[in-house]
A and B are shown apart, each in its own frame.
Chain A
């Protein structure tokens, strides 16, 4: 398991702290276990008659032991738990680092919720494993071993009696812990189902209200809640059973010690003080026994969490810079694909192998690309049109290598993109994705995202070209307006324009727009595209759209269907030929007019 290696490596870096922690733990337990012994001696002294000063010295000894033991205990806890926090910190960094290198296909195959769960819950479980888990485990082991040692030193027969019920109880506890774990899993799944239902209910509030489904939803919710309660109760019952079990072993030990110990005292082979010491030891050993079940489950859950983290670290990095990179052309601008074929299934199969079946069900029906020949000349304007699912987005992503492309398929000024440094390639291309994703920060920060140090002038410039000026004028804080999570408080059209401004601010050589202006009326869209073209004349523009009005001025229009190019030409030629393009043209005439109202 890769994760174990990583984890042990991290642990090894803290070996001195572990040593210190372990050492103080040893000392702590040694001292703590010595106290009952001293107590026993004191009791013996008392029953045989002693002086006050001797008594005080016993008392003082115990006090000192207590104080020192407290200090070492605090130290051991701080050392060991701090390590687990530091490892947590490093592990999160490692995971994040790896995730940054993975292709976007990974993030659509594995849901964000799943990833978040791994980065939060699973890391927390691993931390519990390496911190409290380790601490309490070794504490328990030390207590048992040293406790046994002390008791054996007093009277080996009695010591064995105390220890005999233990393996038995441990065996029973183990069975219960197993059961409890199963129920905990069931409970977790039931909770996830409940949460999903609530999320859908909230996201689909329009449907719920317009079809008056409230009562039905309440009933469904209660059903799911009952299932969850059932699992919880099963788990609770199992854990409740552990209590008497553990208590029984302690109780049997106490009874045995009382009964047999009394006889031994009568027979003279044991003193009263020894017996009292034994009771104290039983008391001290209760906690680790009780904690045993909990520690075991902690270890189990931590191990499962480690596996889940491992799955992420094992996800292959499919898009990266080559070892030896070609230098990119100074101002590249011509893009070409030759016989480009892209399939999503391979990537998905890889992820399925590691993660099990993922949530992503689009795989089977998602557009691949097949034998696509595409060309955009330097400074030119090329468009892609086609139905949803025809492969337009995939083609655009291939240009910027956001999907895996085979060697020898995509070229930038004649150089294979797989031989270029990835960062260089991407910096040359301004990409506006179909999903108008914005970060929750200010508009200025969003627009300047590609070039963080940008000045106000550059930002305003980009905003102007993207047609944001009038919108900004209506916002009291203008460019400093903070946009909510996923850019929620802006309208669809505004978000798209911000995404456009973001892409054009670094003045890239190539601009790729994936249905980027669909929420903007066609007149404004034309204006923006014109402005874009005229202000960045040397820039190559590749646009995918469903609107004829947006693409009619393109040098070349590619019509796509089912991952293939079915027609190419200029607007004037294409509307003469019967087919997809001509149909769309016909259809869209009035929509544009309506918007003008």
Chain B
């Protein structure tokens, strides 16, 4: 649910206005840097004037044979030198200041986007592939980075320069000015035409390159499959097609951009010819001096470059607008699970956690429903009621899809229920701030995620709450200490991408250590379904027992040994509680659980 109107067209330059708050923070820098601009423009104007003076007062008379033509010339030269140095210093200062401002602005924007993402709810991450979100934070902002720091500076400078030059030229001789600039409208028209064609071509290139990259990425990730099924040639063929498309588009771009840059060059030279002729007539007629002619030629030289630059910048602005659209589109996404305005303090988990008449379904993630962000998928719970008392160890058991993992996600308030409520010590969790609530649960998910950081950092998560001692202690309690010390570097050994160089069992133990290190009042464990060898199994079980010993534990269980260790078993089926009770009670009630147990018992004693 966007708080603003959805961003319509990527062409809409208005989106750039959203950058203004970020600019405001650095207004001082921008202002100072902007001050330099008129000064720079001024120096651009004065130099040709000095040149004219040099010619008219000294050089032309000298050529004509006058005697003291060069008296005072030295002073003129000195002014020239001073002006030059001043201009260079100003240019340097202005470029650097604008870069400084630009980088700071981008830093602020980048941090704001990242922070915003951190505040989004789980449903956002369900729907949006990592790659796409990453592009927002990284390459979209990078594009903006380049454009802002170079584009904006240049644009401002160009506009001021152009206005100044035209102004002065008009003031000196408006007829000569017209002669100089008569070709400009034509040039602008040609530039506009070529640029819009070029833009379309660049867009197409971008799309094709994205396609090419996705293709390569897939090929490399799935190279085993490509080779195992002997499809290398087919792969080559598909790549060839993509390459050919890219080539033909790029050749078109080359043709257009060459025409474009040549037009400006041509315009400059043609104007030179026009000024020469018209100005020359003026000289012959005595109305214009050679000095003025040369001055005008100098101005011309300094005119067309900023003009070409500016037309270039329109493109730049378009690309900036496109990036902004994507970035601010993300910024407009509101988190589905909102923090309460005035959260109540976190209860001590002294009493019970309850689900009362809970109805819940996930927001739909299918492509068909993507257009409507409020549509829901199939119902997970219709009317779920259960409670877990402090200190109790509860196992949730059931087939896939029965709702076990969903219970955990609701407890952690990754999603909010549609009906009913979830309470802790009688307080509805929607009245609590989500983060402290989540910290109260030590969570061990099905797939353990490890960071490319040290083992210690993976256990303690770089938190100031967890000391090195706590980390090692936790590792010892779950029997992870031994294998950690075996690794080169021990606790400071760095893990590969996604914890690539640890075995499954080792990753599980690390996850346990992680939960233990934070010493939470409640433990949530979503047991992995992958079957492992029995030795690893036994280690995990022992570690688990230690983990749940001093706290409330909610375990989504898949192992007999786990179920044996708990106080109560809740059997879920299609989102309902089918049976619950202790091991003895359930056996006596002769239901699903009893059947399970007997089967297992029978298998253990009878012949295989």
Contact = CB atoms under 8 A, between A and B. Distances in A.
Contact of B59 (A272, A361, A389): A272
A562 B604 CA distance: 29
Interface in B260-303: 261-263, 265-266, 269-270, 272-274, 276-277, 280-281, 283-284, 290, 293-294, 297-298, 301
Given A55-B276, A198-B114, A276-B294, A89 B228 contact: no
Interface residues of A, number: 160
27 contacts: A55-B276, A66-B266, A77-B254, A82-B251, A92-B239, A112-B221, A210-B445, A211-B438, A213-B463, A220-B462, A222-B111, A243-B95, A244-B88, A254-B84, A262-B73, A359-B496, A423-B230, A427-B230, A449-B225, A484-B129, A521-B400, A546-B531, A587-B537, A588-B531, A593-B599, A595-B399, A597-B573
A199 B301 CA distance: 49
A166 interface: no
B143 to A, nearest CB: 13
B560 A433 contact: no
A237 B96 CA distance: 6
B503 A389 contact: yes
Given A74-B258, A81-B254, A359-B496, A209 B218 contact: no
A241 B262 contact: no
A59 B273 contact: yes
B309 interface: no
Interface stretch (B170-178, B242-250, B317-325): B242-250
A111 B138 CA distance: 19
A594 B236 contact: no
Chain B contact residues: helix, strand, loop or mixed: helix
Interface stretch (B4-12, B115-123, B154-162): B115-123
Given A77-B262, A272-B55, A42 B276 contact: yes
A518 B532 CA distance: 11
A371 interface: no
Given A50-B284, A426-B228, A427-B230, A55 B277 contact: yes
A69 interface: yes
Interface in A534-553: 546-547, 552
Contact of A233 (B100, B243, B504): B100
Given A206-B445, A580-B533, A104 B258 contact: no
A217 interface: yes
A92 B250 CA distance: 15
A96 interface: yes
B54 interface: yes
B125 A202 contact: yes
A65 interface: yes
Contacts of A96: 216, 235-236, 239
A23 interface: no
B533 A386 contact: yes
B270 A361 contact: no
B95 A240 contact: yes
Interface string A219-236: 011100110010011001
B498 interface: yes
Interface string B447-468: 0010110000000011100000
Contact of A216 (B284, B462, B498): B462
A597 B134 contact: no
A299 interface: no
B222 interface: yes
Contacts of B263: 70
B93 to A, nearest CB: 9
A418 to B, nearest CB: 16
A212 B439 contact: yes
A78 B257 CA distance: 9
Interface string A100-135: 110010010001100110011000000000000000
Contacts of A452: 231, 234
B168 interface: no
A324 interface: no
Contacts of B501: 361-362, 365
A365 B497 CA distance: 15
B77 interface: yes
A431 B533 CA distance: 24
B229 A43 contact: no
A502 B503 CA distance: 29
Contacts of B64: 47
A251 B44 CA distance: 13
B412 A210 contact: yes
Interface in B330-372: 365-368
A209 B414 contact: yes
A73 B130 contact: no
B596 A593 contact: yes
Nearest to A422: B230
Interface in A348-391: 359-362, 365, 386-389
A204 interface: yes
Given A70-B265, A388-B503, A400-B228, A275 B59 contact: yes
Contacts of A195: 134, 138
A86 B247 contact: yes
A35 interface: yes
Contacts of B130: 199, 202-203
B232 to A, nearest CB: 4
Interface stretch (B16-24, B102-110, B423-431): B102-110
Contacts of B133: 202
B301 A62 contact: no
Given A62-B273, A207-B445, A584-B531, 17 more contacts: A58-B277, A58-B280, A60-B273, A66-B270, A92-B243, A100-B235, A207-B461, A211-B463, A262-B70, A263-B70, A437-B225, A575-B608, A584-B534, A589-B560, A589-B599, A597-B399, A597-B402
Contact of B111 (A35, A221, A488, A547): A221
Given A205-B122, A214-B118, A580-B533, A359 B497 contact: yes
Contacts of B149: 236
A275 B487 CA distance: 77
Contacts of A247: 84, 87-88, 91
B571 interface: yes
Interface in B575-608: 592, 596, 599-600, 603-604, 608
B281 to A, nearest CB: 6
